[in-house]
Chain A
Amino acid sequence: MSDNEFIKIKNVSKKFDDVVAVDNVDINIARGEFFSLLGPSGCGKTTLLRILAGFEYPSSGKVLIDNVDVTGITPNLRPTNMVFQNYAIFPHINVKKNIEFGLRKEKLSKDALDKRVKDALRMVQLEGYEDRYSNQLSGGQRQRIALARALVKQPKVLLLDEPLGALDKKLREEMQLELRKLQRSVGITFIFVTHDQEEAMTMSDRVAVMNKGKILQISPPRDLYNNPKNLFVGDFIGQINFLESEIKSIDSNNINVLINKLGEHTLTYSGNINKEESIVCAIRPETIQIGNNPDQIKSDITIKGKIANTSFYGNMTYIYVEIEGIAKTLMVSTSDALEGLTYDSECYININLKDIRLIKKN
């Protein structure tokens, strides 16, 4: 077994009555990896996580962890532990007893037990909280206790079910960094479920994007952003403009594409696309440059438009540009000052061919 196949999810499907929640999913996860399952609600990511935890059994397929088939094994006998979405801190016992809860089987001496609890609390920076009860903790503290309670068991895999969802934005960003740091220091494989693309991107080694029970793409965050394999992934991760396009011809290195209102252009051909397939061109808003003079910026394509709207985000501004013949306004983001680029004013947008990605429609 190689470390790259520490967790093997082999052709796993899960049906609830007639609904297919997880559809023939096949993933290998490496030892010590921070792996995220990303997708909109109802995409099956939580079901897949629960299959890994043992709360659900797959209708077909297998799950192997560290070379052991755990498909039919109950959660209490698996080398996995979970951090629940609502943290599930036992309300009738204090923090210390919560953390000890999973250690009973190890039959530790009182001193050893105290030390384990103390270490776990230090790890999540909540030393001295032993005697508190769940209702005396803030959301962020509960989340840390849930983390400590799961990690104190030293599982082979830690499963996290949207654990940051209930926290406010500032705390969430703080916890993202902390979680990543913690994962590196304990070296345990983390599988993280989230619907927040930013969260998945900032923390993960690799991200699997799911929709309707299927895995659409598994890539490192940067790849996922720069080279989305399909419309859904491109649209789900970050902001993107899609332009209707048509393939004119393909030769060994080049592909000729007619892009709606932008004319026919030759792009580098990277394979994977047949001439008959219907495609769109995808352009990230930050790769488009904007100005109020056609000769201001040198670029491969320059086209005239009218500003339909602008929204200011502090570090940058989104500008929505109306172009005659294109139904949807084009989104452009810029961090520059916007002299003369105000609502209803004329503008020119500049696109370089290297920033255009071809994506199959289906």
Chain B
Amino acid sequence: MDSTPVSASLAAALAAASFLLPPLLDGVERKIRAAIHSRIGPPLTQTWFDILKLWSKEAKLPRGAELAGLTVLIGLSIALALAATLSTFAAFGLVGVGPVVAVMVMVFALHSISMATGCASSNPFATIGSFRRVFLNVVNEVGLALSVALALVSRWFIPSWKGWALLGISTGMMLVACFCASGRLPYDIHEAEPELASGTVIELSGPLLAAELYSHLIERWVLAALPFYVSLAPFLPSAWARCLALVLGSSGLWTLFAVTSATLGRSRADLALRSLGAIYTASTIAWVGVWLA
């Protein structure tokens, strides 16, 4: 553990980056999607403009949906705490089983509170929309938890070839799980809502919608940084290297996720059980096969 002022400064800088970068990375994602469509697309700062605009608008909440508004604020608090915690752990070299489990608990808490937002709304369409999110989370959380657990176990076998192979398989599985958990195509959440005319955020407006959008973007950043934190950070000796790996790695992975989602079509949520189940089962069998070899 590097308990130096340098680590503390790096933790603060990384936390600030994790608060400021996600909307800009979303701007990059929108630019990439526009480039694939042969369009100019919005400016890189467009998502920041959207958030600031929503923040200055009126907040209209229907009667009986006060609890949904509260869950949004709790979700934003958890998202900010999660990004700050991940930054601190990475800067101070806290990459053992305990810190990773703590981060995963916060990720699952964030997912649960976003599911609760739709269920707590007085609008039945918001409840219907939250079913899609609940189903995808139930299917994908198993793969996410399993991949992180396998990556932690794989570290014990390093530096043998078996350890690196096991870590590679579990990291690949984690990439798929993080991609699906980020709510992008083919199992998107927010983008699907305008077409389905239902979704967890259908009744949110103004600052509450800004809070929901911002916490979702921070969640995406955490999910893009998670594979680097779990699989790469333990092998980097200095705080500088770990922080740099997290910032550059998460930005690169966000871009890769953006290209992947822009080239994929939307899939039915019920098909996620079959396709994701097949990927996670095959990966686990491969991991066990290498372990037994």
A, B co-complexed: no
